[in-house]
């Protein structure tokens, strides 16, 4: 079991609402990456935070935003929810910004938009 925890585990929201997902990174890790995984597909990179700064972003619109706190935990915020935002949201904890030796994932947050 990894030291990466995500909350909540499940969430149901209505189209147009806003949502905040949370991730606590593993001890000793200062980098958090967020991924979206649709059913039956591989995870898609949303963005990464390193020492409280955004350090890379995938092909997601600006309504997906994030934060990283001094203790390296992180939040993913999604505004104006759309039905297609329904997915498993994963955070990954790692160290540094160079070659990744290991990255551990949390259990994910299952978001359903109705």
Give the binding site for another protein (CB under 8 A). Answer: 2, 4, 6, 31, 33, 35, 40-45, 48, 50, 55-56, 58, 88, 90, 92, 97-108, 110
**Of 108 and 113, which CB lies nearer to another protein in the complex structure?**
108
Smallest distance from another protein to CB 16, Å: 26
Label the pairing between strands 10-13 and 109-113: parallel
Euclidean distance between the first and final Cα of the chain, in Å?
A: 32
Compute the distance between CA of residue 78 and CA of residue 56 in angstroms, rounded to an integer.
17
| Residue 71 to residue 66: CA distance in whole angstroms | 15
Q: Of 18 and 28, which has the nearer Cβ to another protein?
A: 28
Smallest gap, in angstroms, from Cβ of residue 1 to another protein?
A: 9
In this structure, are strands 31-37 and 44-50 parallel, antiparallel, or unpaired? antiparallel
Locate 65 and state its tokens. 């935003």
Choice between 46 and 80, CB closer to another protein: 46
Q: Which is nearer to another protein, 52 or 80 (CB)?
A: 52
User: Least Å distance between CB 67 and another protein?
Assistant: 17
Q: Residue 10 CB, nearest distance to another protein (Å)? A: 10
Contact 109, 8 (CB under 8 A): yes
């Amino acid at each position: 079991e990894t030291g990466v925890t995500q909350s909540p585990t499940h969430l149901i929201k209505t189209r147009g609402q806003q949502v905040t997902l949370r991730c606590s990174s593993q001890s000793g890790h200062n980098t958090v990456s967020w991924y979206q995984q649709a059913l039956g597909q591989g995870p898609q990179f949303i963005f990464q935070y390193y020492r409280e700064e955004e350090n890379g972003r995938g092909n997601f619109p600006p309504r997906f935003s994030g934060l990283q706190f001094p203790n390296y935990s992180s939040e993913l915020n999604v505004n104006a929810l759309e039905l297609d935002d329904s997915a498993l949201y994963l955070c990954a904890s790692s160290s540094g910004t160079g070659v990744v030796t290991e990255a551990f994932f949390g259990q994910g947050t299952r978001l359903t938009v109705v």
